[in-house]
Amino acid sequence: MAAELKSGTGPGAAGVWASCGQSALHLAAANGRLPICRYLVQDLGFPVDAPDSHCETPLVLAATHGHTKTAAYLLKRGADPHAKDSHGETVLHWAASNGDLELARLLLKKGADPGATNARGTPLHNAAARAHPEVVALLLKRGADPNNVVNSVFTPLIASIVSSSLECMKLLIEAKANVNTGGFSGTTPLFIACNLSDAVPFVKCLLDAGANANATDELGRLPIEVAAADAEMELIEVLFPVTRRQPTMLDWSVAGIVRHVNSAAYKEWVIQASCIKKDEMKQQGHSAFKRKDYDEAILFYNLALKFDCTDATLYSNRSLCWLRLGVGEEALSDAQECTRIRPDWAKGYYRQGMAFCLIQDPVSAYRAFLKASKLDPGNTDIRNAIRVVPLGSAPEGPELPLGLLGHLASCTLEAAVVNGNVGGKCESEQIQLGATTEVPGKGSSKNHRGRMATVVHFHDNLEPEHYPRIFKPTFRQLAIPSKFVKWFRPIPSNIIVRSNTGCSWRMTMKKVGTKHSSSRGGQPSLSPNN
Written as tens digits, the pLDDT of the chain (530 aa) is: 555 554 444 555 544 554 567 889 999 999 999 999 999 999 999 999 999 888 899 999 999 999 999 999 999 999 999 999 877 889 999 999 999 999 999 999 999 999 998 877 899 999 999 999 999 999 999 999 999 887 666 899 999 999 999 999 999 999 999 999 866 666 789 998 998 988 999 999 999 999 999 998 888 899 999 999 887 889 999 999 999 998 888 899 999 999 999 999 999 999 999 899 999 999 999 999 999 888 889 888 988 998 899 999 999 999 999 999 888 889 999 999 999 999 999 999 999 999 998 888 888 888 899 899 999 988 988 888 887 665 443 333 333 333 333 332 233 333 332 223 333 333 333 332 222 223 333 333 333 333 333 332 233 332 333 322 233 222 223 333 333 333 333 333 333 343 333 333 344 433 333 333 333 333 322 222 32
At 412 the pLDDT is 31
Task: Say if 368 falls within a structural domain.
Answer: yes
- 26 and 168 fall within a common domain: yes
Task: Say if 259 falls within a structural domain.
Answer: no
The amino acid present at 516, given as its one-letter code, is: H
Domain boundary among 190, 221, 243: 243
Task: Say if 252 falls within a structural domain.
Answer: no
User: For residues 162 and 131, what is the distance between their CA atoms, to the nearest angstrom?
Assistant: 9
At 21 the pLDDT is 72
The amino acid present at 141, given as its one-letter code, is: K
The amino acid present at 298, given as its one-letter code, is: I
At 186 the pLDDT is 64
- 119 and 146 fall within a common domain: yes
Three-state DSSP class for 1?
coil
Q: What are phi and psi of 52, to 5 degrees?
A: -90, -170
Task: Say if 265 falls within a structural domain.
Answer: no
The per-residue b/e assignment along 256-285, b for 16 or more CB within 10 angstroms, e otherwise, is: ebbebbeeeebeeebeeebeebbeebbebb
| Contact (Cβ atoms closer than 8 angstroms) between residue 279 and residue 315 | no
What sign does the dihedral 236-241-246-247 (CA atoms) show? positive
Task: Say if 443 falls within a structural domain.
Answer: yes
| CA neighbor of 494 nearest in space, from 435, 450, 437 | 435
User: For residues 285 and 295, what is the distance between their CA atoms, to the nearest angstrom?
Assistant: 10
Task: Say if 258 falls within a structural domain.
Answer: no
Domain boundary among 393, 421, 442: 393
Residues 6+ apart with CB under 8 A from 157: 128, 146, 147, 169, 172, 173, 177, 178, 179, 181, 189
At 119 the pLDDT is 75
CATH code for the domain in which residue 146 is found: 1.25.40.20
- 235 and 293 fall within a common domain: no
At 94 the pLDDT is 95
- 412 and 503 fall within a common domain: yes
- 52 and 187 fall within a common domain: yes
Task: Say if 35 falls within a structural domain.
Answer: yes
- 383 and 301 fall within a common domain: yes
| CA neighbor of 436 nearest in space, from 515, 518, 528 | 528
pTM of the model: 0.63
- 92 and 39 fall within a common domain: yes
Distance spanning both ends of the chain, measured CA to CA:
63
At 135 the pLDDT is 97
The CA-based angle 186-188-190, given to 5 degrees, is 150
- 64 and 95 fall within a common domain: yes
| Contact (Cβ atoms closer than 8 angstroms) between residue 495 and residue 509 | yes
Residues 6+ apart with CB under 8 A from 69: 32, 34
**Structural domain harbouring 299:** 278-393
Distance of CA 475 to the CA centre of its chain: 48
Q: How many domains does the chain have?
A: 3
- 184 and 116 fall within a common domain: yes
Overall residue count recorded for the chain in this entry: 530
- 327 and 417 fall within a common domain: no
CATH code for the domain in which residue 386 is found: 1.25.40.10
> Between the CA of residue 302 and those of 94, 117, 285, 295, what are the distances in Å?
24, 20, 9, 11
- 384 and 423 fall within a common domain: no
What sign does the dihedral 42-43-45-48 (CA atoms) show? negative
User: For residues 127 and 137, what is the distance between their CA atoms, to the nearest angstrom?
Assistant: 10
Task: Say if 167 falls within a structural domain.
Answer: yes
Helices 294-307 and 312-325 pack at an angle, to 10 degrees, of 160
User: For residues 344 and 335, what is the distance between their CA atoms, to the nearest angstrom?
Assistant: 13
Domain boundary among 369, 393, 417: 393
User: For residues 234 and 227, what is the distance between their CA atoms, to the nearest angstrom?
Assistant: 9
| CA neighbor of 480 nearest in space, from 512, 452, 453 | 512
At 414 the pLDDT is 31
- 79 and 48 fall within a common domain: yes
